[in-house]
Structure 1
Amino acid sequence: MIQQRANFDWMLKELADGVPGIAMIVVLSADGLRIARHGGDPDTADRVAAACAGLQSLANAVAQEIPTSEGEMNMVLIEMDRGYFYMMAAGPNAYLAVLADMICEPGMMSNRMRDLVVRIGAHLTSPPRRNGQTV
């Protein structure tokens, strides 16, 4: 598991403080390893990161079928019974995922996530791995 990087703490806290209703924020690699988190417990964040790996792969596959698309997923939004799940591409091989309750306004959340990615996207990267090793 990749250790949480201390320099992500203030960035993720700023997002959480700026949008009401956020329960958890996870930064993850494309292969589903948690890089950082804010809120929630580490085990839940690890499960969310692992699930996101499959979801981003599926979203990218669907994006490739859209004739006017460049074939890459930018953002996924899932509305659930009592909340929302957001996942956004955040840099090479890295994603930003947010779990929020129903008071969270989806437009505001997506704008704040996009702002965060634009501002610090270069820091939200994960080098590709082969057989568990960084290449």
Structure 2
Amino acid sequence: MDWILKDLADSVPCVRHIVVLSGDGLRIAQHGTDPDTADRLAAACAGLQSLAAAVGQEFPHGDGSMRLVVIEVDGGFFYLMAAASRAYLAVLADEGVDAGLVGQQMRDLVARIGEHLAAPPRNPEVVA
């Protein structure tokens, strides 16, 4: 998966880190960062997607599932996108990033690899 993540980073100037993670915050893949930083981002993303889903439950239509979260902070942007069932794509970018291009490239990447990212539940129920 490294070359696919590298393509995203190369196609969008100002992208710093890319992390693919499971819904419970475990790093699946990374680009542009060391494993420790990727693990911290993945763990933070798990909490963020849970918070976004809780907010989503307040809307009367739809199932409240998180699709995209964008956070702007001093110095840059953070994007978290649902990639598949229980899998997410996170991108950290510098301040000068083209926000529309990031979103488009993330959607394209999810369309290409989403079905391969679906993570089964860690403790599936045993059907008797």
TM-score scaled by length of structure 1: 0.88
CA distance in structure 1 between the aligned counterparts of 2:30 and 2:88, rounded to whole angstroms: 12
Aligned residue in 1 for 2:100: 107
Query: 2:114: which partner in 1?
Result: 121
Mapped to 2, the partners of 1:49 and 1:92 lie a distance apart of 16
C-alpha separation in 2, matches of 1:91 and 1:32: 14
Please list, as runs of the form range in 1=range in 2, the aligned pairs for 1:74-89 lying within 5 A after superposition. 74-89=67-82
Distance 1:25 1:124 in 2: 15
Q: In structure 2, give the amino acid aligned to 1:104.
A: V
| Residue of structure 2 in register with 1:24 after alignment | 17
Deviations 1:23-64 (A, max 9, x none): 100000000000000011110000000010000001011111
RMSD: 1.4
SS of 1:128's equivalent in the other structure is: coil
Aligned length: 125
Q: Which amino acid aligns with 1:117?
A: V
Measured after TM superposition, the shift of residue 9 of structure 1 is 0.6
SS in 1 for 2:37: helix
Give 3-state SS (helix, strand or coil) of 1:40's partner: coil
Query: Percent of counterpart pairs with the same letter?
Result: 64
Q: Where does residue 4 of structure 1 map in the other structure?
A: none
Alignment of 1:1-135 (within 5 A): 8-130=1-123
For 1:113 and 1:86, the matched residues in 2 are separated by: 9
TM-score, normalized by length of structure 2?
0.93
Gaps of 5+ in 1: 1-7
